[in-house]
Amino acid sequence: MDISINNLKINYIKKEVGSKANIIFLHGWGANINCFMPVINEVSKKYNVYAIDLPGFGLSQEPSQEYTVEDYSKVIFEFIKQLKLDNVVLIGHSFGGRVIIKLVGSLKYEPKKIILIDSAGIKPKRTLKYYIKVYSYKFVRNVLKIILGKEKSNKIIEKYRSKVGSEDYKNASNVMREVFKNTVNEDLKRYLPNIRVPTLLIWGENDTDTPLSDGRVMEKMIPDSGLVILKGAGHYSYLDNYNQFIRVLYKFLEECD
């Protein structure tokens, strides 16, 4: 079903079973509702469940402007407001976790609880090699525009990006590429101490996209938080170690209904 938020058509699903608790799932970058379906089908046996295709993903409309993490957080706040949901538990994977951190830590919305799964939000430490690569690219880009003109230089730059850019960046539209740059470069660490609700951190021990060290930082900085490490799991820890994930999830949700 659809809902209109900030002039965007937002796709979402809901499964209501008469529970007092309302569980909202937010997917990661490049994903959609379907990535959470095994968990949604299980959790919806006991709790009201809502899952959203974030703007620009799945069946939701792409934003016409370059969204920031705050813009995505405001979409979620408006979703909760329009559906008049209370006793909310927010569950976010990767980019979805980033949106939750901004919503709760910066915009000061207070859900009942939050669960961050292999969450983004900690800006990685960059090596000297990285900065040499970035600034060399910027230098070459500007020189090419002077020598070849904008149109020819853009074709060469785009070809280079397609070879060395991340998969998330390469697969995005022009607008979503700018959104990606806006969001991935924002360090949300300063908002973590502002999160004052019970927080469960779930991490795959072998996550290479948002490493376990990020989870440990969040555990230290979020006042009422605990970290559960799923053995043998990667970035999609909730799927890699599904049975343990579900047991941990249900334990954390016990007092919500």
Q: What is the block-wise mean pLDDT of the chain (257 residues), using blocks of 10 residues? A: 96 96 96 96 97 97 94 97 97 98 96 98 64 38 53 50 52 84 92 98 97 97 98 97 97 87
DSSP state letter for 46: T
Q: pLDDT, tens digit, for every residue of 27-39? A: 999 999 999 999 9
pTM of this structure: 0.84
For residue 151, the model assigns a pLDDT of 58
For residue 154, the model assigns a pLDDT of 54
- Residue with token string 């430490």: 125
Rounded Cα gap, residues 195 and 179, in angstroms: 25
For residue 185, the model assigns a pLDDT of 85
Q: Give all domains of the chain, ordered by start, each with its CATH number.
A: 2-123+186-256 (3.40.50.1820), 128-175 (no CATH)
Report helix, strand and coil shares of the chain as percent, to nearest 5.
45, 20, 35
What burial class does residue 26 get, using C-beta atoms within 10 Å of its C-beta: 0-12 exposed, 13-18 middle, 19+ buried? buried
Q: pLDDT, tens digit, for every residue of 123-132? A: 976 444 433 3
67-to-57, 62, 144, 167, 175 alpha-carbon distances in Å: 13, 10, 29, 19, 9
Question: How far is residue 193 CA from its own chain's centroid?
Answer: 19
Listing DSSP states for 120-131 in one string gives --SPPPPPHHHH
User: The dihedral of CA 243, 245, 246, 252: what is its sign?
Assistant: positive
What burial class does residue 132 get, using C-beta atoms within 10 Å of its C-beta: 0-12 exposed, 13-18 middle, 19+ buried? exposed
Strand-pair category, 22-26 with 113-117: unpaired
For residue 156, the model assigns a pLDDT of 45
